[in-house]
Structure 1
Amino acid sequence: MTDTDYTALEAALVDLLGPRGVSSDLRQRERASVDGARMSPIIAELLPLGVADLVAFPTTAAEIAAVVAVAARFGAPITPRGKGTGNYGQAIPMAGGLVIDTSRARTVLGVDGDTITADAGAPMTALEQAARAAGKQLWMYPSTVHTTIGGFLAGGSGGTGTIAHGSNDMGFVVALDVATPVSDGALVHVEGDEAQRYVHNYGTAGIIARATVRVEDLQDWRGLYASFDDFRGALSVLRALGDLHPAPRLVSADTPHIAAQLPPDDAVPPGRSSLRMIADVRTVEEATALIEGAGGRIEDVREGPTVSAAISVLSYNHPIEWLQKSEPGVYFHVEVSGDALIDRIDEVHAVYPGGLLHIEAGHTVPIGMLAGVYESPEAVYAGIAALNELGVGVHNPHQWNVDFRLPQTVELARETDPRGLLNPGKLNPEYAGPTKGAIR
């Protein structure tokens, strides 16, 4: 990369976006240079990994493409950013340069049949609301419901609310409009398999400016809260609840210790294992029978348009985040999957000191987050190998390199970003870290 004249770049961006559309203020630059990396003690020990020289705030998909073109003309590193909540270093500008904060590009263009289209910064809640108004719902609904659609797709998330459809590699994305350093300010429209090439690659081959994703007919959801004397009780019904038809949007369970760290709620009683479920109203009676037949009790059944959001924010890595906040500096986690999470839970818990599992019913097998007391990176990696031996798939969140379709992304970036301007430091072809059995 060449040396960049950031004073001149800032002036050019002001001409494009206006004075409120770009900032060189240190506080703004620092705010735009952090993400969820502190959830990883391994990465947290290395912070700060980089600070932006400038931050741009485009408000439309077209402006995102125009900003990429201006930055490329100046030879500046370009790191895209949504809300920065779901990444572990992937949204940090390791080479400095320009951060493009896409969160102001919030337009939802609307529903068309079984799809919905929105600019990259539109929150998933806005897409869900627009879909609901048209009698539809998103195929999947993330644990961070205020995340942006662009960040959700470009980041590492597989999504919750995916029991019926699988991860966002399984047909959720219909089409994308992307901006690259070689597209000269134009949006490049890609569909199907071609669009999938830009998913999960952290903007290293192209920046998602607009997305078209699948919706389906709206269902009448209920938020079902249950509890058990112990975690084994919750585990005993998890697969059966996930197999109900119509499929739940989410089935999520925690040990009593993790449940005790969640926000206070009468439906999550202290000293008991908590199970939370977004269930189709047609299955509530059957779910109740399964839970009570396994010795559990129903704490509450809630309805209304906010029920999915309220339960989703207590899923995926969020219970572990509450655990880390309650006992700072103690816990780390890895993403896990497989039937061993139920069938060999004692062995799974024993892999790490203080092992605690958050579990969810997945599309094909249970998925979850395994927390343990942090000792060292070496202990984390040794535990990943031990989990693999137990038949547990593990995705390692304690690194920032693209680890999904890495060779294909490297090849794509040679075409779309030959100067390596996009999110430098995140696309290392030699990377071979401990990430066997990814859960996506």
Structure 2
Amino acid sequence: MTTNSATAVPVAPTALAALEADLRAALGDRAVSVELAARERASLDGSRLSPVISEQLPLGLADLVALPSTAEEIAVVVGLAVRHGVPITPRGKGTGNYGQAIPMAGGLVLDTTRARAIVDVGDGVITAEAGATMVALEQAAAKTGQQILMYPSTAQSTIGGFLSGGSGGTGSIKHGSNSGGFVAALDVVHATPDARLEHVEGAEAQPYVHNYGTAGIIARATVRLEPLQDWRGFFASFDTFEQALSLIRPFAALEPTPRLVSADLPTLADALPDDPGIPPGRVSLRGILDVATVDEATRLVEAAGGRVEDVREGAQTSMKISMMSYNHPIEWLQKAYPDTYFHVEVSGDALVDRIDEVHAVYPGGMLHIESQHGRPIGMLAGVYESAEAVYAGFEKLTALGVGFHNPHQWFVDFEPERTAALAATTDPDGLLNPGKLVAGAPLSTGAKVS
């Protein structure tokens, strides 16, 4: 028996069998699976990045997996699951790091990755189905002389997953998070027996962003574009972290605004694959800069005592630099030093102005720093001892004036009251991603940065 944790009503095997039969009739046998290997793959995401969550795995196992190939089929799947009373956990590529795609109540995992059509590229907007990857959107936009406002550090993430579970990324220095003006419209699916695509625009679309599909599943999205820019990958290195830190604000203030700027201690350079732009033993700074700002960026680096290692063209360079931003430095550190590091998402001027105190919060502390919408943000890594030690550091961060977000939990923590109010009407039976929308505010001071 599988228990729906939102309603504490058991889901009978007969209901699961009936849903499986209906899904096979609607989607075809190749779009439905009850094989254990497929269910296990669909029941994990990137939450192993958190040792706190890893200690609690497995957190759930799907009873069956459906892979609809269009937005309309997503609605069909939801309607069938609701009619049979089966919990529904939506899923994109599974690159989220917080457990939000884990089916804690079992039931159905709705994998959206086959619904990947780029529907339309217009003047200033692009429309795509939930399973389209962010890199596919970027490539489609570029063919029309445009670019998307932002994409996550894992550019192979889906647009549905990014809007449902992500927050910011490459492009966020200028545009902030994806809960701002990024989304123009959504087609969402509510958990009702007659589920269909519900079109919402502007302010009405925002409550569906970053709620893990707990109030409605994003099936299609229209997001904003801007004119295409000529980007350069910019690599610099320094003797000291303080030299690199001194450039975080000046780089973010360059005009045209950079798409990304990030810096790390030599520990990261030593953990990365060999790259002449990131020499071992040196503090590394990487940026995705408009070509018009490269000369000024070079002047800033040299004035701070650093040296420019390389300037490269091409979209692949931008993707490479993105894959060394946000949470990715922690992944590289964990690969190089297994079972060692954890991280906390942090923000605020203290990351630049009080770096020694910030590093001292956790044993082995080291900051990966970036800029987002005019403020320093980053990932503070430390040597993992226990969940209690991680949480004990939150009070120290607050005392330093550092905002933080706890990445070691799976609860909706962006506008949870608003999400709960919406879900009361859009998911009356509590079937959408059970276990993720709970009472009580998680430990956070609003520094969600990835």
TM-score normalized with structure 1 length: 0.98
| Alignment match of 1:194 (pick from 204, 215, 232) | 204
| CA distance in structure 1 between the partners assigned to 2:80 and 2:205 by the alignment | 24
Aligned partner of 1:321: which letter?
Answer: E
Residue correspondences, number: 439
**1:216 and 2:243 aligned:** no
Structure 1: segments with no counterpart, 5+ residues = none
Residue in 1 aligned with 2:243?
A: 233
Residue in 1 aligned with 2:368?
A: 358
| CA distance in structure 2 between the partners assigned to 1:246 and 1:183 by the alignment | 49
Residue in 2 aligned with 1:433?
A: 442
The answer to whether the 8 Å contact 1:367/1:439 transfers is: no
| CA distance in structure 2 between the partners assigned to 1:189 and 1:159 by the alignment | 26
Q: Deviations over 1:3-28 (max 9, x none)?
A: 24212111110111101000000000
Moved more, 102-111 or 91-100: 102-111
| Alignment match of 1:26 (pick from 33, 36, 41) | 36
Superposed displacement of residue 186, structure 1: 1.1
Query: What is the SS of the residue equivalent to 2:422?
Result: helix
The answer to whether the 8 Å contact 1:118/1:210 transfers is: yes
| CA distance in structure 2 between the partners assigned to 1:27 and 1:408 by the alignment | 37
Superposed displacement of residue 211, structure 1: 0.4
The answer to whether the 8 Å contact 1:221/1:307 transfers is: no
Residue in 1 aligned with 2:6?
A: none
**1:166 and 2:176 aligned:** yes
* Cα distance change, pair 185–75 in 1 and its aligned pair in 2 (3 A): same
**1:107 and 2:111 aligned:** no
Superposed displacement of residue 274, structure 1: 0.6
The answer to whether the 8 Å contact 2:48/2:97 transfers is: no
Aligned partner of 1:323: which letter?
Answer: L
1:391-430 equivalences in 2 (<5 Å) = 391-429=401-439
The answer to whether the 8 Å contact 2:149/2:225 transfers is: yes
The answer to whether the 8 Å contact 2:230/2:290 transfers is: yes
The answer to whether the 8 Å contact 2:80/2:193 transfers is: no
The answer to whether the 8 Å contact 2:235/2:310 transfers is: yes
| CA distance in structure 1 between the partners assigned to 2:233 and 2:395 by the alignment | 37
Q: In percent, how many aligned pairs have the same letter?
A: 67
Superposed displacement of residue 2, structure 1: 5.0
| CA distance in structure 1 between the partners assigned to 2:144 and 2:210 by the alignment | 29
Q: Deviations over 1:196-230 (max 9, x none)?
A: 10011000000000000000000000001111112
Aligned partner of 1:310: which letter?
Answer: K
Superposed displacement of residue 308, structure 1: 1.7
Residue in 2 aligned with 1:292?
A: 302
1:40-79 equivalences in 2 (<5 Å) = 40-79=50-89
Moved more, 406-415 or 253-262: 253-262
Superposed displacement of residue 434, structure 1: 1.6
**1:250 and 2:250 aligned:** no
Q: Deviations over 1:369-426 (max 9, x none)?
A: 0000111111111101110110111000100110110001011000000100000000
Residue in 2 aligned with 1:3?
A: 11
| CA distance in structure 1 between the partners assigned to 2:330 and 2:436 by the alignment | 25
| Alignment match of 2:270 (pick from 260, 281, 286) | 260
| CA distance in structure 1 between the partners assigned to 2:229 and 2:283 by the alignment | 28
| CA distance in structure 2 between the partners assigned to 1:64 and 1:437 by the alignment | 32
**1:206 and 2:216 aligned:** yes
| CA distance in structure 2 between the partners assigned to 1:305 and 1:267 by the alignment | 16
Residue in 2 aligned with 1:150?
A: 160
Residue in 1 aligned with 2:97?
A: 87
The answer to whether the 8 Å contact 1:204/1:426 transfers is: yes
Aligned partner of 2:40: which letter?
Answer: E
Superposed displacement of residue 183, structure 1: 6.7
Query: CA RMSD for the aligned pairs?
Result: 1.0
Superposed displacement of residue 161, structure 1: 1.8
Query: What is the SS of the residue equivalent to 1:103?
Result: coil
| CA distance in structure 2 between the partners assigned to 1:257 and 1:303 by the alignment | 26
Residue in 1 aligned with 2:325?
A: 315
Aligned partner of 2:347: which letter?
Answer: S
Aligned partner of 1:3: which letter?
Answer: V
Moved beyond 3 Å, runs of 4+: none
Moved more, 254-263 or 222-231: 254-263
Aligned partner of 1:346: which letter?
Answer: D
The answer to whether the 8 Å contact 1:87/1:155 transfers is: no
Superposed displacement of residue 325, structure 1: 1.4
Residue in 1 aligned with 2:391?
A: 381
| CA distance in structure 2 between the partners assigned to 1:263 and 1:23 by the alignment | 38
